[in-house]
Amino acid sequence: MTDPGRRPRSDRPAVGLIVNPAAGRDIRRLTGGASVSDNYAKRRIGECVLSGLALGRDPVDALVMPDRAELGQRIAEDADADGGDGSVRTLEMPITGTFEDTRRAARRFAEVADAVVVLGGDGTTRDVSTAIGDVPVVAVSTGTNNVVPTPVDGTVAGGAAALVATGAADPAATTRRHGTVRATIDGAAGAGTVRGLATMGLLDRQFVGTRAILDASEFVGGAVSRASPAEIGLSGVAGGLLPTRPDDSGGVGLRFESADAADRRVRAITVPGVVSELGVADCRRLEAGESLSFAVDRGVVTADGEREREVSDATVAFEVRDDGPRLVDVEAAFEAADADVFATERA
């Protein structure tokens, strides 16, 4: 079962499926209250996604990303054995066992898919967003500390993707453009950029170490493209001060200081199972394209809850942008779908 590298010959609508076997495996599962999604659960969710494609107005073909753990391959094989109106194929692509697999699949889906379902966490969704373009994305939470993906039944997620892919639900009315955050680094180790989807921060720390962020008091500052007190991490901190919808233009910039010395403090869920109180020196609205800069002797830049890059003697500028992926509002897709998709009458 391989993808010929273009839209299926039947020219039916196509939905891509990305399942990240590495999502949800970091240390927060052991040290905090982070949820666990093992590979068996992901496989079952993926199978449900393909079953949900039957809700489309027309038959839908499915294209599945292969992976080192062979989750995608098994999902495709089982679905193909079950039959159905649409075909199920795995992408023909090299497998590295790294984030590049997700990005490579996203680039292919940008060319041949009408919608994509992603099973993973914030990092997986960010990797998809770097290459997916305007293809609508249904992001399903199977990671550890998720802000962007949502916990939704796989069958419902597949149904929403099929409704959008077949035009039964208008993509323009049922998708929302998510923002992004970009860090521009100019320091002793050179210049560069790091991209985040929901949050980016700067830690007062010498080295990356474990990628998970366990101590929020190490944050010097950062920027977010969305903010709600119901979210975890920097977006939850900002949400206690300046709530910002995921599709609002711009974002929020933050500078922290010791809680003991701060005039303004905020309580937030900073890690699954942990509520912290942080001192806030500055919290401001950032317009799209506006940046907030920090000069540091040492530090670590974070993206979407994970440590990404060490910096020293550097200036780090965080910029919010309105150029993220088009995320499907699952409930809106079902509400907007044509009535005859769900109910028919005998002539």
Q: 265: pLDDT confidence band, cut at 50, 70 and 90?
A: very high
Q: What is the pLDDT of residue 340?
A: 83
Number of neighbouring beta carbons within 10 Å of residue 199: 32
At residue 207, what is the residue type? F
Residue 267: closest CA among 308, 218, 316, 229:
229
Residue 82 has pLDDT above 60, yes or no: no
Query: By CB neighbour count within 10 A (0-12 exposed, 13-18 middle, 19+ buried), where does 239 fall?
Result: buried
Give the domain ranges of the chain: 14-177+325-341, 180-321
Span 17-45, average pLDDT: 70
Q: Among all chains, which residue has been given the structure tokens 């944050």?
A: 219
Q: What is the pLDDT of residue 3?
A: 41
Span 301-316, average pLDDT: 93
Top-confidence residue, 269 or 35: 269
Top-confidence residue, 271 or 229: 229
Query: By CB neighbour count within 10 A (0-12 exposed, 13-18 middle, 19+ buried), where does 33 fall?
Result: exposed
Top-confidence residue, 158 or 344: 158
Structure confidence by residue, pLDDT tens digits, 171-193? 999 999 999 999 999 998 789 99
Residue 7 has pLDDT above 60, yes or no: no
Residue 75: closest CA among 41, 96, 50, 106:
50
Close Cβ partners of 70 (under 8 Å, ≥ 6 residues apart): none
Q: What is the pLDDT of residue 64?
A: 97
Instruction: Kindly state the DSSP code that residue 341 receives in the 8-state scheme.
Output: G
Q: Among all chains, which residue has been given the structure tokens 């907007």?
A: 336
Sign of the four-CA dihedral 334, 165, 141, 122: negative
Comparing 6-10, 240-244, 277-281, the range with the smallest average pLDDT is 6-10
Span 311-335, average pLDDT: 97
Comparing 83-97, 156-170, 301-315, the range with the smallest average pLDDT is 83-97
Q: Among all chains, which residue has been given the structure tokens 């903010």?
A: 227
At residue 146, what is the residue type? N
Q: What is the pLDDT of residue 84?
A: 57
Top-confidence residue, 338 or 128: 128
DSSP SS3 for 40: helix
Q: Among all chains, which residue has been given the structure tokens 């969305």?
A: 226
Q: What is the pLDDT of residue 124?
A: 93
- The strand order across the sheet containing 61-64 reads 88-90, 61-64, 14-19, 115-120, 137-141, 326-328, 175-177
Q: Among all chains, which residue has been given the structure tokens 């919010």?
A: 320
180-321 CATH choice from 1.10.3470, 3.40.50, 2.40.128, 2.60.200: 2.60.200
Q: What are residue 108's phi and psi, to 5 degrees?
A: -70, -45
Residue 21 has pLDDT above 90, yes or no: no
Q: 4: pLDDT confidence band, cut at 50, 70 and 90?
A: very low
Q: Give the integer Cα–Cα distance in Å for 4 and 6.
A: 6
Specify the length of the chain in residues.
Answer: 347
Top-confidence residue, 231 or 25: 231
